[in-house]
């Protein structure tokens, strides 16, 4: 074995930023295919809109900051943020809303802090929460699983900006649970499906497959998804044992909404997540606990975005108090 004998530093980086971003983007492909299969071709239109908006906003900010365009645009981080936002919004959301959320994510969530590596919050979730708070009705109108909408029709609806027609919209399982809880009624069983809500179990299984590949290739730290999913499942099981008529079982929480997307693709963001082994466990467990609290007791059907952003705030404290002991001390 031949050792490198050059001057310090002698730190070998196996993969650069563009390679890491490329792996995460590639890992999204199975879930995107399932989303298109279940919810129609609007998903593809949203991906195109978010991609164009992300790259345009990134290029404009870099030009205003007098930064090199080629290297920064080529690292794939802006494109990945756009894709993460696109797979999080309803497939027939008006295109101007998707573009607005993407531009906000890049400009406010990333570039105003100094660009990649300096943002304290996950940019995609910053844009998503702005859309969720500003347009709650539009953000809750998902097409029912099994919707067969031709690509030209989906593009006409999205680019027309008139909103989702009633014939193409319906409540998600988490929306149905929240509505039933507010009215003191039992949730409709036909929407809950056999695992995580009708159709949503397949989406989460696809995100799980891509996420496990990221962990296998060491692109994502295993501690964060393991702690998040374990915390969410543990609280759901405890609540289910205490009141089975009010709270859903752990499997439903694990395979509904944006659980697997959040666990493997959002919470593991290497910039805004904790970087120490113990800190990652605490960080992930906190996200899982907040997701369960928001879903079960809060006013929003799914709490992944809010949970990630709230735990992003704690990262400096977690990293400061969970540093590994220096050898010799």
Is pLDDT larger for residue 12 or for residue 222?
A: 222
> Percent of the chain scored above 70 by pLDDT?
83
pTM score, whole prediction: 0.87
192: Cβ contacts below 8 Å, ≥ 6 apart: 173, 176, 198, 248, 252
Is pLDDT larger for residue 189 or for residue 30?
A: 30
Residue with token string 């906000």 = 104
Model confidence at 179: pLDDT above 90: no
297, 236 contact by CB (below 8 A): no
Model confidence at 7: pLDDT above 80: no
Is pLDDT larger for residue 173 or for residue 281?
A: 281
- What are 56-94's pLDDT values in tens digits? 999 999 998 888 887 778 788 899 999 999 999 999 999
**Residue ranges of the domains in the chain?**
18-170, 177-320
Is pLDDT larger for residue 34 or for residue 182?
A: 34
19, 187 contact by CB (below 8 A): no
Average pLDDT on 93-100 reads: 94
Average pLDDT on 296-318 reads: 90
Model confidence at 116: pLDDT above 70: yes
Q: How confident is the model at residue 11 (pLDDT cuts 50, 70, 90)?
A: very low
pLDDT, residue 126, reads 95
For residue 45, CA distances in Å to 59, 95, 138, 144, 179 come to 21, 8, 17, 17, 30
Residue with token string 């101007």 = 96
| DSSP states along 179-238 | HHHHHT-PPPHHHHTTTTSTTHHHHHHHHHHHHHHHHHTTSS-THHHHHHHHHHHHHHHH
Q: How confident is the model at residue 206 (pLDDT cuts 50, 70, 90)?
A: very high
Q: Where is average pLDDT lowest: 114-118, 161-165, 265-269?
A: 161-165
Tokens of 164: 């989702």
pLDDT, residue 191, reads 56
User: What is the C-alpha separation between 315 and 275, in angstroms, rounded?
Assistant: 8
pLDDT, residue 1, reads 41
pLDDT, residue 148, reads 74
Q: How confident is the model at residue 3 (pLDDT cuts 50, 70, 90)?
A: very low
Which H or E run contains 56? helix 42-64
User: What is the C-alpha separation between 279 and 223, in angstroms, rounded?
Assistant: 9
Is pLDDT larger for residue 192 or for residue 316?
A: 316
pLDDT, residue 85, reads 96
pLDDT averaged over every residue in the chain: 85
CA angle 299, 235, 297 (to 5 degrees): 15
Residue 91 zone, left/alpha/beta (φ > 0; ψ -120 to 50; rest): alpha
Q: Give the helix, strand, coil percentages of the chain, each rounded to 5.
A: 65, 0, 35
């Amino acid at each position: 074995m031949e050792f490198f004998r050059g001057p310090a530093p002698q730190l070998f980086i196996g993969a650069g930023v563009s390679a890491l971003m490329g792996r995460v983007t590639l890992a999204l492909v199975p879930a995107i295919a399932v989303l298109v299969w279940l919810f129609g071709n609007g998903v593809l239109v949203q991906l195109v809109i978010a991609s164009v908006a992300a790259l345009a906003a990134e290029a404009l900010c870099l030009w205003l900051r007098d930064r090199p365009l080629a290297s920064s645009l080529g690292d794939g981080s802006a494109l990945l943020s756009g894709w993460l936002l696109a797979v999080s919004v309803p497939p027939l959301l008006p295109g101007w809303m998707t573009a607005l959320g993407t531009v906000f994510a890049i400009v406010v969530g990333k570039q105003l802090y100094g660009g990649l590596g300096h943002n304290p919050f996950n940019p995609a979730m910053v844009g998503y929460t702005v859309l969720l708070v500003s347009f709650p009705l539009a953000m809750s109108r998902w097409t029912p699983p099994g919707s067969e909408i031709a690509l030209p029709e989906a593009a006409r609806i999205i680019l027309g900006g008139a909103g989702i027609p009633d014939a193409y919209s319906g409540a998600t399982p988490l929306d149905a649970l929240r509505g039933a809880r507010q009215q003191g009624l039992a949730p409709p069983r036909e929407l809950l499906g056999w695992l995580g809500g009708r159709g949503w179990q397949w989406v989460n299984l696809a995100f799980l497959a891509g996420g496990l590949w990221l962990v296998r290739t060491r692109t994502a730290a295993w501690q964060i998804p393991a702690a998040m999913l374990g915390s969410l499942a543990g609280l759901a099981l405890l609540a289910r044992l205490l009141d089975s008529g009010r709270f859903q079982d752990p499997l439903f929480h694990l395979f509904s909404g944006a659980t697997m997307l959040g666990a493997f693709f959002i919470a593991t963001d290497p910039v805004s997540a904790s970087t120490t082994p113990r800190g990652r466990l605490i960080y992930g467990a906190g996200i899982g606990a907040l997701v369960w609290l928001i879903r079960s007791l809060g006013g929003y059907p799914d709490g992944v975005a809010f949970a990630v952003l709230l735990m992003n705030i704690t990262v400096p404290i977690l990293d400061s108090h969970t540093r590994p002991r220096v050898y010799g001390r």
